[in-house]
Amino acid sequence: MVVDVFKIRWKVVKSSRFDTAAFKATHAELYKQYMKETETRRFTVA
């Protein structure tokens, strides 16, 4: 673990994501059929 040395990068990252809101609006029953609830944990240092 390094505490006093930080590397900072700023760059563009492209991604493609599924539009769930549009899918839900047009295919509500299918959306409900394939919904899956997940749980995650978030670790934050400020």
How many residues would you count in the chain? 46
**pTM to 2 decimals?**
0.52
Rounded CA-CA distance 19/27 in Å is: 12
Rounded CA-CA distance 5/12 in Å is: 23
* 9-39 pLDDT per residue, tens: 789 999 999 999 999 999 999 999 999 999 9
